[in-house]
């Protein structure tokens, strides 16, 4: 198949994670992405460790196959020099605090005056308006204030620091790409672009659909360790094995639960978890703790029980299933080396298949006006 975004030009004023990942998704589907970076240092993520070539591997993974233009946006002639790019751009992505791009003369109104077809996507933590619009925060803060963080707690009852940057990616990057594609589709009909307001904190509420539904419909708001998917059920638990590893057990439906009880040899008096969920959970924990992770992997194989051993990232990359899916086939090149490119939720039929690198700072300054 041809790449669906071939011919689409994206100006990326963003840094770090949310915006660069959104534009990487667009680039992998064929768009030309031009990073607009500050001279001298560029995107802050370039300086992170560890390195892969001259920049950090984080930067390399998120900026594969893009171009880079280095320009001081505060310079008196910055807008004039950027005009040729603005005039031919289809999409602009930025993640400054609200009002910053307007003060630079590069807000939506200014760009739309040059190019009415431009789709302008602004990614922020709390959105373009509202009492918190100017508040500084990071992923952990957005999860905390949306209520999402409060649904997960450790043994001591304290919220657990998430291992995934859910707000940045699922609340920022993915909604940005979705809405950019919707805006481009709408532009096909209207001929005009628009401004998109992507607020990472706002977009976290979708992940709590069940918690919102329970609370709004019944007045019974969820709490950590109390509900089906927050640790309140033996059917959705993480159990420690004999060798200190963990079994992720999710036999939620009755047929899976019955298969699970049979496979581990759970005594009949504990199989009806509706009577005593805590007691059933303790009984399952004792059984799981009596065998190693490898023994459980073998014992549960083919039993249709929705149970898996918790893998490390290294183990997951070597998993035969993911390897067979071709998940790690794309390559990222730098300094004579090549590693696996970042797996992305873009169908392989639409993705670039070449081993690509990332741009040097200002490598494509020839794209600027004189």
What tokens appear for 148 in the block? 């999402």
Catalytic position from the list 138, 243, 272, 319: 138
Tell me what pLDDT residue 370 has.
65
Is 223 designated active site? no
Residue 157 in tokens: 């009852």
Which residues in the chain show pLDDT less than 50? none
Give the pair of three-digit tokens for residue 175: 């909604």
List 90, 139, 168, 273, catalytic entry: 168
The angle at the Cα of 270, spanning 268 to 272, to the nearest 5 degrees, equals 90
Task: Give domain limits for the chain.
Answer: 9-200+327-367, 237-318
What's residue 152's pLDDT? Answer: 86
Q: Kindly state the DSSP code that residue 274 receives in the 8-state scheme.
A: T
Q: What pLDDT does 153 receive?
A: 82
| The Cα angle at residue 13 between residues 7 and 15, in degrees rounded to 5 | 120
CA atoms within 13 A on the CB side of 154: 6
Predicted confidence at residue 157, as pLDDT, reads: 81
CATH of 9-200+327-367 given 3.40.50.10540, 3.30.2320.80, 1.10.1510.10, 3.40.640.10: 3.40.50.10540
Pairing of strands 55-56, 337-340: unpaired
Fold classified for 237-318? formyl-coa transferase, domain 3 (3.30.1540)
Model pLDDT for residues 30-79, shown as the tens digit of each residue: 999 999 999 999 999 999 999 999 999 999 999 999 999 999 999 999 99
Q: Identify the pLDDT of residue 218.
A: 96
pLDDT of residue 294: 97
Which residues are CB-contacts of 268 (< 8 A; sequence separation ≥ 6)?
A: none
Three-state secondary structure call for residue 28 = helix
Query: What span, in angstroms and rounded, lies between the C-alpha atoms of 179 and 197?
Result: 9
């Amino acid at each position: 198949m041809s790449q669906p975004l071939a011919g689409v030009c994206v100006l990326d004023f963003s840094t770090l994670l949310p915006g660069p990942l959104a534009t990487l998704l667009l680039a992998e589907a064929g768009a030309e992405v031009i990073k607009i970076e500050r001279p001298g240092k560029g995107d802050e993520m370039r300086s992170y460790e560890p390195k892969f070539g001259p920049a950090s591997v984080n930067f390399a993974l998120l900026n594969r196959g893009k171009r880079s233009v280095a320009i001081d946006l505060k310079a008196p002639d910055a807008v004039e020099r950027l005009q040729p790019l603005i005039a031919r751009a289809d999409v602009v992505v930025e993640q400054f605090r609200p009002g910053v791009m307007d003060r630079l003369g590069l807000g939506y109104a200014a760009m739309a005056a040059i190019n009415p077809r431009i789709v302008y996507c602004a990614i922020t933590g709390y959105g373009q308006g509202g009492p918190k619009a100017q508040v500084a925060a990071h992923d952990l803060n957005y999860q905390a204030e949306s209520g999402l963080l409060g649904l997960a707690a450790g043994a001591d009852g304290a919220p657990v620091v998430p291992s995934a940057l859910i707000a940045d990616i699922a609340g920022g990057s993915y909604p940005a790409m979705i809405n950019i594609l919707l805006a481009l589709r709408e532009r096909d009909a209207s001929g005009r672009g628009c401004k998109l307001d992507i607020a990472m904190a706002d977009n976290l509420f979708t992940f709590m659909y069940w918690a919102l539904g329970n609370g709004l419909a019944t007045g019974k708001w969820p709490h950590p360790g109390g509900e089906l998917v927050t640790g309140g059920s033996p059917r959705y638990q993480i159990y420690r094995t004999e060798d200190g590893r963990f079994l992720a057990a999710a036999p939620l439906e009755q047929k899976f639960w019955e298969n699970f009880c049979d496979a581990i040899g759970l005594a009949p008096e504990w199989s009806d978890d509706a009577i005593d969920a805590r007691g059933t959970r303790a009984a399952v924990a004792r059984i799981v703790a009596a065998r190693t992770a490898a023994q459980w992997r073998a014992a549960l194989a083919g039993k249709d029980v929705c149970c898996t051993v918790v893998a490390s990232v290294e183990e997951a990359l070597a998993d035969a299933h993911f390897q067979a899916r071709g998940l790690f086939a794309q390559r990222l090149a730098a300094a004579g080396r090549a590693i696996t490119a970042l797996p992305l939720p873009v169908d392989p039929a639409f993705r670039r298949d070449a081993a690509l690198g990332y741009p040097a700072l200002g490598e494509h300054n020839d794209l600027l006006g004189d």
